[in-house]
Amino acid sequence: MTEHILLIALTFLLAGLVKGVIGLGLPTVAMGLLGAAMPPAQAAALLLVPSFVTNIWQLFAGPRFLPLLRRLWGMMLGIGVGTWACSGLIAGGAAGLATAGLGAALLAYAAIGLARPGLRVAPGIQGWAGPLVGLATGAVTGATGVLVIPAVPYLAALGLERDELVQALGLSFTTSTLALGLGLAWHGALAGPQGASLLGVSLLALAPALLGMALGGALRARVRPEVFRRGFFIGLAVLGAEILWRGL
């Protein structure tokens, strides 16, 4: 792990910068870059602390936590169940399958981000659609460590105000991170000296992640967010294709 310290620091600095500019992307960038250099289970363990701290900060920075929780609790329950049920895939011995799944998830997220389909979810179906989306998101999270598919497109399709959407994303990512950490621990991926080392490095990775977020916040006023967002998704697509190719 020590040979990867510089890579980890630079990865979380970049991931934090992306999150600072466009409001999301830290776990996705971290999983993509780290997953190109180490098994997905190790990459997922390293993102636990920075992802949890930055997303819980995003969650409680908004004004509508309880109303959003009442509206989205079924989806959050689905995320928890799906992640725990499928976390054995990323924590197990099928490293090639997990790597290919990570690449495919990154490609799917990039395609949706570039297409921006402008979907809308009718209020009448949200009662059953939310838990199903949560289960699907949990399955992808448990298998690949990617927290965003299909949660981000679904939440964007609910017609939330901007601040509500940011807070809802924080709620979803916080739930996914907690469930992923519990799943990895349940399957022994955080046990023993290696697990303690991974969590220790994850804690240290919080500093460059927060620094990156601060830099991203300052950069946001100087760049066009749409241009940055497009470049982010194009880069994510290239990275996902490379990881998918390597995992097959």
Pick the closest to residue 112 from 26, 28, 237 (CA basis): 237
What is the rounded radius of gyration, in angstroms, for the C-alpha atoms of the chain?
17
User: 146: which DSSP letter?
Assistant: -
- Provide the mean pLDDT of the chain: 87
Residues of the domain holding 50: 2-247
pLDDT attached to residue 3: 65
- Residues 146-183 have pLDDT tens digits of 898 899 999 989 988 878 888 999 999 999 999 999 99
How many domains does one find in the chain? 1
Residues 6+ apart with CB under 8 A from 62: 68, 163, 164, 166, 167, 170
Res. 28: pLDDT tops 90: no
Supply 136's token pair. 């699907």
Question: What is residue 116's predicted lDDT score, i.e. its pLDDT?
Answer: 76
Q: How confident is the model at residue 93 (pLDDT cuts 50, 70, 90)?
A: low
* pLDDT tens-place string over residues 96-131: 677 788 889 889 988 988 887 777 888 889 899 999
- pLDDT score of 246: 75
